């Protein structure tokens, strides 16, 4: 039961900071949250082979940050060609990434997520579009899903994100914690609308339910996370008066819907063995299997939440390999 | 309980405890050592923690968590009352929270006491209320430009914007090529580039977006190629003209308002408890910053101090004493709110011509030195003597001010290589123009744009003493000011909150206030 020291400091710092931001009456100190969040600007100059630029939606003020591998030709640096596709011959995967934060915290320009997305670009040789969504408690269900869906449509309609001989945008949806939950829901909306998504990558996705599972009881308060804070975030996100069996929280629960017959993308679900909500995540995996959907579970025994923020542990490298394989297996 | 392993704590323990209250800056060597000791992975997450201190910080965090769990009643109170500073410095952030919990609530936190107790030791404090304008400084999204068009007419524009994007990109490519020729000294090729670009401009929307920005850069390149690098008509704008343009820039977008507001907050705090205060404004203009400060001082508990304002500005050519006029208006205002006020104007065409004795600083008064986008003009080096910046910083320090507020553009426009400077400027000012467009304030934006255009022209077409827009990034200013004997005063979450609230008044999408290692940026 060992976490590297700097990871421990990082996640404990978040825990303490978040405690200060959540108020018992369900309101949230957004100013303090934005003040404390460490943000980084986009950088059109390649750093470690990756450059980034932002697109701000004029109407909503929401940010999409695009990360791309930099050209090997130095004279092409710092100029983004929005006229040409990513490649006319090869397929370049585009990962739409939804950051975590329990629907309440963080942004696409948060340092931890900027760093993570850059790593994803290099590992998968993909373009990553990190997407902001309206957060709770100011904006409840279904705002995050609507924003995610809008972002997917935006990505799908960019000619400069197209690749391959079939000239289309080859999209994967990904997200951690609440971002994983959003990815699932956006994938459902996409499947229903006939919009093609090649795969879902869910990193300890945020699900729950009204009952208390064994893992929740066993791990409550043991590894940075408490049931009390989980409950707070659901109360902040779900419509007022709703309980945790609302399908946004519990997609395969008593009020869930089946995905039978739906052209749902294949899924890679990553579960951290020390995450107290793992029973819900495992139930999600079973739910997908029962609907006949293709799903792979990566269960990382000794991992805590946030293990992927710093590349200082085996789980991190294992995860990156799996994601790489998950995507590259489509490229043949 | 989660245990942490110490395998990652390798290497030397070179760090002494962080000394933010020292009167002199640490010698350069020691600072370099401590830089190397910073945990690289946490740095990538935005936190500066020395590897040697990780264990200590972890222990403090644990204590803090325990304290928080044991006093849930205090937590909400604590959360809303505490002023947080510089969250990147995790060790001191945790310590300040711990001290809030352990000390009784009527004791001010360690940070505020810092400034006071060090007053008797020779310590000069400066805050950088830096509205890095704009923060996202390398951001060229053509998509944004075409979106502006889409707002007006819907369907038929899809074809036009595709063409537009094409021409827009060609323009950018050509601008870079032209700049590269200029750097190489190939003026004939540069000239033919210019001609091509001017042709392209006719096919592109120059009212907004890339066409407009490109137009300004083409003009600036043109100036450089045909008129040489002496500046000529750009720097020749009269003081009166400059004031008008500045005023429109002030109205059209939030940058200057944010700068004034944040600087005033810091000055107000620094003057707390002092009865004789003296503000030195390095560029008075229309004195737009000062009514708010005068009013705030009028309202402070315990009553206002005696306020002296010394405004520096260029001499008026036509016999008007514009400095005095502004001073008189401010005096009127001060009188109306019962603040004892005295004004003095110092006319100087360049900041480096000002000598400290002209400011007539009284040893008994508390001094605030306020520089809004002036210091970068001193960065040109004169081979004959000391660089002007060093001279000026040194006399500022000799005045022993209670606080120095510095506002600068967060940009890298002072690099020696022309192409690098050009590229940086292209990205920076494109975003700047976009941000101007995002403002829905009803005002004549054209004049604000000319203000920006003059900056562009100076960065691109001038050299030597004519090039005064020598913007440098925050990190360089931090080093320079520390080296001159100034200690950073951090702007806290209260200033942040108020600045954010102010921003909401400006009805503009896409702006945000960010905290950056003790400084606030817009």
Q: How confident is the model at residue B9 (pLDDT cuts 50, 70, 90)?
A: very low
- Check residue B123 and give its pLDDT: 23
Q: Quote the mean pLDDT of chain A.
A: 94
Indicate the pLDDT class of residue B103, thresholds 50, 70 and 90: low
Residue A75 maps to a domain: no
**B277: burial class by Cβ within 10 Å (0-12, 13-18, 19+)?**
buried
For A3, which of B2, B62, B166 is closest by C-beta distance? B2
A309 in reach of chain B (CB within 8 A): yes
- Chain A residue at shortest CA distance from B137: A41
Q: Which run of H or E residues covers position A326?
A: helix A314-328
Do B49 and A9 count as a contact with CB atoms less than 8 A apart?
yes
The candidate with the shortest Cα–Cα distance to A109, out of A44, A45, A41, A180, is A41
**Lowest pLDDT segment from B204-208, B356-360, B367-371:** B204-208
Contact B39 A54 (CB under 8 A): no
Instruction: Determine, yes or no, domain membership for A76.
Output: no
- Report pLDDT for B518: 85
pLDDT of residue A138: 97
Predicted local distance difference test score (pLDDT) of residue B128 = 35
DSSP secondary structure string for all residues of B191-219: HHHHHHHHHHHTTS--SSHHHHHHHHHHH
* Cα distance between residue B269 and residue B368, in whole Å: 11
Residue B31 pLDDT more than 60?
A: no
Cα–Cα distance list, B308 to A207, B281, B324, B331, B339 (Å): 62, 11, 14, 10, 10
Secondary structure class of B187 (helix, strand, coil): helix
DSSP H/E element including A54:
strand A50-56
Query: What are the phi and psi torsion angles at B352 (to 5°)?
Result: -70, -10
Does residue A211 carry a pLDDT above 90? Answer: yes
Q: Is A177 a catalytic residue?
A: yes
ipTM: 0.91
Residues 6 or more apart whose Cβ sits within 8 Å of residue B264: B289, B292, B293, B296
pLDDT of B30 reads 42
Distance (Å, whole) CA B70 – CA B60: 15
Q: Answer whether B393's CB lies under 8 Å from B481's CB.
A: yes
In which band, very low, low, confident or very high, does the pLDDT at A220 lie, cut at 50, 70 and 90? very high
A298, A322 in Cβ contact below 8 A? yes
CA–CA distances in Å: residue A278 to residues A222, A282, A283, A300, B485: 14, 6, 8, 11, 54
- Å between B308 CA and nearest CA of chain A: 34
Query: B233 falls in which pLDDT band (50, 70, 90)?
Result: low
Average the pLDDT over B321-346 and give the result: 93
Report the b/e string of B170-182 with b at 16+ CB within 10 A. bbbebbbbbbbbb
User: Average pLDDT, stretch B184-204?
Assistant: 88
What span, in angstroms and rounded, lies between the C-alpha atoms of B108 and B114? 10
From chain A residues 88-117, the ones with a CB under 8 A of any chain B CB are 110-112, 115
Spatial contact of A279 and A213, defined as CB atoms under 8 Å apart: yes
pLDDT of residue B483 exceeding 50, the answer is: yes
How many domains is chain A built from? 1
Distance from CA of A184 to the nearest CA of B (A): 27
A328 or B99: whose pLDDT is higher? A328
What does the pLDDT read at residue A81?
A: 79
Q: How far is A221 from chain B (nearest CA, A)?
A: 9
B291-309 b/e (C-beta count within 10 Å ≥ 16 → b): bebbbbbbeeeeebbebbb
A163: three-class secondary structure by DSSP: strand
Please give the Cα distance from B190 to A42 (Å, whole number). 31
| Chain B partners within 8 Å of A5 (Cβ) | 4-6, 8-9, 54-55, 58
Q: What is the arithmetic mean of pLDDT over B354-364? A: 91
Residues of chain A with Cβ-Cβ distance to B512 below 8 Å are 34
Residue A77 lies in a domain: no
**Confidence at residue B74, expressed as pLDDT on a 0 to 100 scale:** 62
State the nearest Cα–Cα gap between A225 and chain B, in angstroms. Answer: 12
Task: State both tokens at A33.
Answer: 């949250």
Quick one: pLDDT at residue B111? 29
Q: Are B258 and B502 in contact (CB under 8 A)?
A: yes
A115, B45 contact by CB (below 8 A) = yes
Q: Average the pLDDT over each of A159-168, B200-209, B278-287, B453-462 and give the range with the smallest value.
A: B200-209
Average pLDDT over residues B265-293: 94
Mind giving me the DSSP string for B149-183?
A: HHTT--TTHHHHHHHHHHHHHHHHHHHHHHHHHHH
Contact assessment for residue B21 and residue B114, using Cβ atoms and an 8 Å cutoff: yes
Bridge-based pairing of strands B124-128 and B403-407 is parallel
CATH of the domain at A149: 3.40.50.1820
Distances (CA, A) of B299 to A28, A331, B296, B305: 31, 68, 5, 11
Tell me if A137 sits within 8 A of A28, measured CB to CB: yes
For the residues B425-429, what does the mean pLDDT come to? 92
The mean pLDDT value for B223-250 works out to 77
- A148 close to A186: Cβ distance less than 8 angstroms: yes
Question: What are the structure tokens assigned to A240, written together?
Answer: 């007022």
Q: Give the C-alpha separation, B303 to B298, whole Å.
A: 6
Q: Comparing A138 with B427, which gets the higher pLDDT?
A: A138
Output the average pLDDT for chain B: 77
As beta bridge partners, residue A175 has A98, A202
At B69 the pLDDT is: 79
CA torsion through residues A106, A112, A116, A118, sign:
positive
Residue A74 lies in a domain: no
- Residue of chain A whose Cα is closest to the Cα of B10: A5
Nearest Cα neighbor of B489 from B83, B133, B85 is B85
Least confident of A213-227, B45-59, B221-235, B434-448: B221-235
A40 touches chain B (CB under 8 A): yes
Inspect the interface and report whether the beta carbons of A112 and B493 lie closer than 8 Å: no
CA distances in angstroms from B350 to A72, B250, B275, B283, B482, listed in the order given: 46, 22, 31, 10, 24
Tell whether A283 is covered by a domain: yes
User: Which residue out of A177, A178, A215, A267 is catalytically annotated?
Assistant: A177
**Given a cut of 50, is residue A286 above it in pLDDT?**
yes
Q: Distance between CA B197 and CA B233 in Å, rounded?
A: 23
Check residue A316 and give left, alpha or beta (phi > 0: left; psi -120 to 50: alpha).
alpha
Which pLDDT band, with edges at 50, 70 and 90, does B492 fall under? confident
Average pLDDT over residues A94-100: 98
pLDDT of residue B272: 92
Mean pLDDT of A59-77: 87
Q: Which two tokens stand for residue B368?
A: 């605030």
Residue B3, beta-bridge partner list: A2
- A296-310, B398-412, B442-456, range with the lowest pLDDT: B442-456
**Predicted local confidence at residue A97, as pLDDT:** 98
Residue A43 lies in a domain: yes
Look at residue A97 and give its three-state secondary structure. strand
Which domains are assigned to chain B? 155-228+414-471 (no CATH), 250-408+472-521 (3.40.50.150)
Number of alpha carbons in the 13 Å side-chain half-sphere of residue B103: 13
**Mean pLDDT, rounded, for B446-467:** 90
User: Which of A234-238, B26-30, B407-411, B452-456 shows the highest mean pLDDT?
Assistant: A234-238
Output DSSP code: residue B490.
-
Give the nearest partner residue to B514 out of A21, A39, A312, using CB atoms: A39
Q: Would you call A192 helix, strand, or coil by DSSP?
A: helix
pTM for the model:
0.75
Q: Domain range for residue A118? A: 5-69+85-329
CA gap A331, A93 in Å, rounded: 9
Specify the pLDDT at position B24: 36
Are B63 and B98 in contact by the 8 Å Cβ rule? The answer is yes
pLDDT at B76: 67
Could you report the per-residue pLDDT of A101-141, keeping only the tens digit for each?
999 999 999 999 999 999 999 999 999 999 999 999 999 99
Two tokens, residue B365: 């008064």
Question: Both tokens of residue B67?
Answer: 């304290």
Range of lowest pLDDT (A3-12, A304-313, B319-328, B409-418): B319-328
Of A2, A55, A115, nearest to B3 by CB-CB distance is A2
Q: pLDDT class for B382, splitting at 50, 70, 90?
A: low
Shortest CA distance to B443 belongs to which of B502, B498, B508, B501?
B508
Within a 10 A sphere around the Cβ of A141, how many other Cβ atoms? 19
- At residue A17, the pLDDT reads 94
* Token representation of residue A206: 């945020």
């Amino acid at each position: 039961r060992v976490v590297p020291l700097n990871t421990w400091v990082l996640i404990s710092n978040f825990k303490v900071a978040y405690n200060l931001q959540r108020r018992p009456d369900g309101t949230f100190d957004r100013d303090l949250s934005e003040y404390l969040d460490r943000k980084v600007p986009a950088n059109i100059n390649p750093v470690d082979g990756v450059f980034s630029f932002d697109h701000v939606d004029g109407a909503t003020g929401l940010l999409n940050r695009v990360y791309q591998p930099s050209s090997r030709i130095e004279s092409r640096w710092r100029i983004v060609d929005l006229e040409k596709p990513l490649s006319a011959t090869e397929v370049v995967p585009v990962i739409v990434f939804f950051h975590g934060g329990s629907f309440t915290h963080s942004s696409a320009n948060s340092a931890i997520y900027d760093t993570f997305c850059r790593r994803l670009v290099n590992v998968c040789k993909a373009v990553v579009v990190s997407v902001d969504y309206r957060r709770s408690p100011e904006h409840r269900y279904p705002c995050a899903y609507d924003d995610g869906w809008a972002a997917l449509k935006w990505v799908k309609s960019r000619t400069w994100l197209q690749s391959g001989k079939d000239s289309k945008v080859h999209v994967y949806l990904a997200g951690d914690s609440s971002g994983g939950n959003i990815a699932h829901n956006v994938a459902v909306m996409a499947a229903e609308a006939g919009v093609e998504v090649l795969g879902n990558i869910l990193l300890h996705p945020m699900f729950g339910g009204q009952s208390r599972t064994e893992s929740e009881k066993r791990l409550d308060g043991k590894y940075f996370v408490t049931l009390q804070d989980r409950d707070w975030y659901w109360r902040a996100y779900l419509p007022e008066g709703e309980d945790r069996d609302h399908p946004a929280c519990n997609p395969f629960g008593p009020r869930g819907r089946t995905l039978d017959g739906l052209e749902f993308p294949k899924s890679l679900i990553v579960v951290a063995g020390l995450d107290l909500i793992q029973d819900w995540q495992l139930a999600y995996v079973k739910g997908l299997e029962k609907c006949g959907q293709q799903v792979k579970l990566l269960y990382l025994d000794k991992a805590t939440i946030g293990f992927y923020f710093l590349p200082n542990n085996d789980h991190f490298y294992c995860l990156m390999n799996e994601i790489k394989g998950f995507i590259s297996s489509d490229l043949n | 309980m989660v245990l942490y392993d110490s395998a990652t704590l390798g290497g030397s323990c070179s760090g002494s405890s962080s000394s933010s209250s020292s009167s002199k800056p640490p010698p350069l060597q020691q600072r370099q050592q401590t830089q190397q000791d910073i945990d690289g992975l946490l740095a990538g997450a935005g936190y500066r923690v020395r590897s040697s201190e990780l264990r200590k910080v972890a222990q403090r965090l644990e204590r803090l968590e325990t304290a928080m769990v044991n006093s849930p009643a205090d937590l909400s109170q604590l959360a809303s009352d505490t002023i947080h500073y510089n969250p990147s410095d995790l060790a001191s952030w945790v310590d300040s929270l711990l001290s809030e919990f352990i000390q009784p609530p009527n004791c001010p936190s360690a940070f505020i006491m810092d400034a006071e107790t060090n007053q008797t030791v020779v310590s000069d404090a400066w805050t950088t209320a830096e509205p890095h304008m704009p923060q996202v400084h390398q951001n060229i999204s053509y998509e944004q430009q075409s979106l502006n068009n889409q707002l007006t007419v819907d369907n038929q524009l899809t074809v036009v914007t595709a063409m537009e994007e094409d021409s827009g990109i060609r323009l950018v490519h050509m601008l870079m090529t032209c700049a590269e020729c200029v750097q190489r000294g190939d003026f004939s090729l540069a000239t033919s580039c210019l001609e091509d670009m001017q042709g392209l401009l006719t096919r592109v929307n120059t009212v907004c977006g890339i066409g407009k920005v490109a137009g300004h850069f083409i003009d600036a390149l043109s100036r450089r190629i045909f008129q040489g690098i002496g500046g000529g008509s750009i720097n020749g704008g009269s003081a009166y003209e400059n004031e008008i343009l500045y005023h429109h820039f002030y109205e059209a977008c939030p940058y200057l308002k944010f700068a004034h507001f944040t600087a005033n907050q810091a000055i107000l705090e620094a003057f707390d408890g002092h009865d004789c205060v003296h503000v030195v404004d390095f560029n008075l203009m229309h004195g737009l910053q000062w009514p708010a400060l005068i009013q705030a001082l009028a309202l402070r508990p315990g009553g206002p101090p005696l306020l002296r304002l010394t405004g520096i500005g260029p001499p008026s050519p036509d016999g008007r004493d514009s400095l005095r006029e502004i001073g008189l208006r401010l005096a009127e205002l001060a009188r109306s709110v019962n603040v004892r006020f005295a004004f003095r104007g110092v006319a100087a065409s360049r900041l480096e011509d000002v000598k400290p004795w002209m400011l007539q600083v009284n040893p008994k008064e508390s001094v605030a030195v306020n520089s809004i986008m002036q210091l970068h003009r001193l960065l040109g080096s004169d081979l004959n003597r000391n660089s002007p910046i060093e001279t000026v910083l040194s006399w500022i320090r000799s005045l022993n001010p209670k606080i120095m507020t510095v506002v600068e553009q967060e940009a890298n426009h002072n690099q020696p290589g022309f192409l690098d400077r050009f590229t940086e400027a292209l990205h920076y000012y494109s975003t700047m123009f976009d941000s101007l467009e995002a403002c829905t304030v009803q005002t004549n934006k054209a004049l604000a744009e000319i203000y920006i255009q003059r900056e562009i022209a100076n960065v691109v077409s001038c050299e030597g003493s004519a090039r005064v827009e020598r913007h440098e990034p925050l990190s360089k200013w931090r080093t320079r000011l520390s080296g001159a004997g100034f200690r950073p005063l951090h702007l806290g979450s209260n200033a942040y909150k108020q600045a954010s609230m102010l921003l909401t008044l400006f009805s503009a999408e896409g702006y945000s206030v960010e905290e950056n290692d003790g400084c606030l940026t817009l």
